[in-house]
């Protein structure tokens, strides 16, 4: 297990430079991780993990869902959109209740954002979501350090997100190994063509415990291109059944367009969270 101090990747340590907003987020997250290490020693986290129930298979659940597998996201705000609905400013934001709506309307898995300053999440939201639904739960955060994986597992996550754009090669591989040792499945995300082969190689090394997330949003420009997933699958010869399309999916037609390339898994958050009933929005996405 790594005990390095988490720091944002330095320019030149990744195939492409970090966008300014991502650099700011990672610098803040590195500080939060140091505070969390002081408050939650590894020994106590490992004791909690030893007493925790087994993980529910995230990858297995997504493969079993048909004709589409949706990871429905519990998301309060984002740096680009701000607060997604005014009601989410206060107690109207109930992660457990939102997760139950998703569970009742066809979600294969639930993604829970836990980053606080930029996305309005909290680590304890994970436990609220896990205790509310039978579906596996993904911790969606900017993971830079193995400590965050220990926290994720102790709080009830079944899987974790690792972003290739944020993690130099060795670090991506090392954190993937730590996650698997904790029994966490993985969604390994990339956007650009320079990082995609690195992410795909780590997914391959994880066997049947990881999927490749292809983000349709360019994190530098924030532009979303729905054709990006299909293009990357084709250009890099990636098995489409191991791909999760991320960002910009809003309609059943979007899902059907993805399916023409063999991709039948998607992570959807902001579109669903804009509706007063995110579960009904999910049902329409799956059927309309």
Compute mean pLDDT per 10 residues along the chain, 288 residues long, and list them: 49 66 93 97 97 97 98 94 91 93 98 97 97 98 98 98 93 98 98 94 97 93 92 96 97 97 97 97 95
Residue 169 lies in domain: 20-287
Q: Answer yes or no: is 141 within a domain.
A: yes
User: What pLDDT is stored for residue 10 in this prediction?
Assistant: 52
Would strands 243-246 and 82-83 be described as parallel, antiparallel, or unpaired?
unpaired
Q: Answer yes or no: is 98 within a domain.
A: yes
Q: Answer yes or no: is 7 within a domain.
A: no
Span 174-219, pLDDT tens digits: 999 999 999 999 999 999 999 999 999 999 999 999 999 999 998 8
Would strands 137-140 and 109-113 be described as parallel, antiparallel, or unpaired?
parallel
User: What pLDDT is stored for residue 196 in this prediction?
Assistant: 96
User: What pLDDT is stored for residue 220 in this prediction?
Assistant: 82
Q: Answer yes or no: is 11 within a domain.
A: no
Q: Answer yes or no: is 12 within a domain.
A: no
Three-class SS of residue 162? Answer: strand
Q: Answer yes or no: is 261 within a domain.
A: yes
Tell which residue, 136, 117, 240, has the closest CA to residue 126.
136
- Residue 141 sits in a domain whose CATH number is 3.20.20.70
Q: Answer yes or no: is 106 within a domain.
A: yes
What total number of domains does the chain contain?
1
Burial 227-238 (b: 16+ CB within 10 A, else e): ebbbebbeeeeb
Q: What is the model's pTM?
A: 0.94
Burial 56-77 (b: 16+ CB within 10 A, else e): bbbbebbbebeebbbbbbbbbb
Q: Answer yes or no: is 228 within a domain.
A: yes
């Amino acid at each position: 297990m790594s005990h390095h101090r988490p720091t944002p990747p330095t320019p030149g340590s990744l195939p492409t430079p970090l966008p300014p907003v991502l650099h700011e987020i990672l610098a803040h997250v590195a500080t939060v991780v140091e505070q969390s290490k002081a408050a939650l020693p590894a020994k106590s986290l490992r004791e909690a993990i030893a007493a925790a129930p087994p993980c529910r298979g995230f990858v297995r659940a997504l493969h079993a869902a048909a004709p589409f597998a949706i990871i429905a996201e519990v998301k309060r705000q984002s740096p680009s959109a701000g607060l997604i609905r005014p009601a989410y400013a206060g107690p109207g934001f109930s992660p457990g209740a939102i997760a139950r709506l998703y569970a009742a309307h066809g979600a294969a898995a639930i993604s829970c954002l836990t980053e606080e300053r930029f996305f309005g999440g909290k680590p304890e939201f994970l436990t609220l979501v896990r205790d509310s639904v039978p579906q596996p739960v993904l911790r969606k955060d900017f993971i830079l350090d193995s400590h965050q994986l220990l926290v994720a597992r102790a709080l009830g996550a079944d899987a974790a997100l690792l972003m290739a754009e944020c993690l130099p090669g060795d670090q991506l591989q090392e954190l993937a190994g730590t996650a698997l040792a904790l029994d966490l499945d993985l969604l390994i995300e990339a956007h650009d063509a320079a990082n995609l082969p690195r992410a795909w190689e780590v997914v391959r090394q994880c066997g049947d415990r990881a999927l490749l997330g292809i983000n349709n949003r360019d994190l530098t420009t924030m532009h979303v291109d729905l054709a990006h997933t299909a293009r990357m699958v084709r250009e890099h010869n990636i098995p489409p059944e191991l791909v999760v399309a991320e960002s910009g999916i809003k309609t059943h037609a979007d899902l059907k367009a993805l399916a023409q390339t063999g991709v039948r898994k998607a992570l959807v958050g902001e579109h669903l969270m804009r509706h007063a009933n995110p579960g009904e929005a999910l049902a329409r996405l799956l059927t309309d």
